[in-house]
Homo-oligomer: A and B are copies of this chain.
Amino acid sequence: MPKPVLTILAGSRPVTGLEQLEALADVRLVSGSAELAAALPGTEILYLWDYFAGGLRENWSRADSLTWIHVPAAGVDRLLFPELAASDVTVTNARGIFDAAMAEYALAGILHFAKNFPAASRNQRDRRWQYFPTANLAGSRALIAGTGSIGRTTSRLLRAVGIEADGLGRTARAGDADFAAIHASQDFASVAGNYDFVILAAPLTPDTRHLLNQAVLSAMRPTAVLVNMGRGELADQEALTRALEAKDIAGAVLDVTDPEPLPASDPLWELDNVLITPHLSGDSQTHLPALAAQFEANLTDYLQGRTPANVVDKGLGFVASGA
């Protein structure tokens, strides 16, 4: 049986586990959109980082043999352009790989503000030994927007340290194993005032764009802290910036912004109640080998005629199976 053509579009990133993939497929390794145009004809399987989605759309007519695209990321919002959504091409993502790191990132952001480390840094800059208030997490409440594997892992970690965690999903539900309660997204503004921490971990879809809007921000507690580790566009960033400048909410930890990279001129950089990280909350010392092992297992399944794991529902915009 001839090996299928697997094109890998990894940009400047090293591809972990390439040798194992070359044993299973005829690998074409390309580093940008121009090379992709040449490599697409005959490509059956495409492995690409989602920030190359634009290059794929430009060259979509050349995808004459494509059956499967694997994205080594959780979000596929940039990839699901109409031509791909309407096609028979299967899309899979890296569901599960980023869960633990992102849960820890959310907890790190929560503790950063609960223990008032921003005040510590300000004092330290001035070499000043000066008391400031801090808070215990025990008994505090978090609302996690996104009830997929990232939101659930985050909830379990927050609950392990004594935080009461509710979810925000498409529909309100009770009796969930991972959340004390799940509220409907449309009720976000009416429940936001009950929480000390609001965490955005939802996929970006037409329904979730600007999920965190002015009405939600106005409803949040002045002591509340936001953690956005989903997509920058989940928040109305202009309204968020105003709320942070006015201290309508206490602070924000932002791993994602709109746009990315965040321009040097953006006012968010200047705010000392904001901590910005460059879209790395899911990464760790283990995520690259884990992504490689996950894709290799998926490829093995595919070659043996089985459906690969973590198939994205292209209508919904995320993996709908499981939780």
**Interfacial residues, chain A to chain B (CB-CB below 8 A):** 100-101, 104-105, 107-108, 111-112, 114-115, 117, 120-121, 123-124, 127-138, 157, 160-162, 260-262, 264-266, 269, 274-278, 280, 283-286
Contact = CB atoms under 8 A, between A and B. Distances in A.
Contact of A285 (B117, B129, B135, B286): B135
A108 B100 contact: no
12 contacts: A100-B136, A104-B114, A104-B115, A108-B115, A108-B117, A112-B117, A120-B276, A123-B278, A124-B269, A124-B276, A127-B265, A157-B161
Contacts of A280: 131-132, 134
B114 A112 contact: no
A136 B111 CA distance: 16
A104 B284 contact: no
Contact of A275 (B117, B127, B129): B117
Interface of A is mostly: loop
Given A134-B280, A283-B134, A121 B124 contact: no
Question: Looking at A117, A134, A285, A286, which has the most chain B CB atoms within 10 Å of its CB?
Answer: A134
A111 B264 CA distance: 27
A136 B120 CA distance: 24
Contact of A101 (B127, B134, B274): B134
B114 A108 contact: yes
A45 to B, nearest CB: 27
Contact of A278 (B129, B264, B283, B284): B129
A276 to B, nearest CB: 5
Nearest to A285: B135
A201 to B, nearest CB: 16
Given A111-B104, A115-B108, A135-B285, A129 B261 contact: yes
Nearest to A119: B277
A101 to B, nearest CB: 5
A275 B161 contact: no
A134 B286 CA distance: 10
Contacts of A277: 115, 117, 120
Contacts of A276: 120, 123-124, 129
Contacts of A114: 104, 108
Nearest to A111: B108
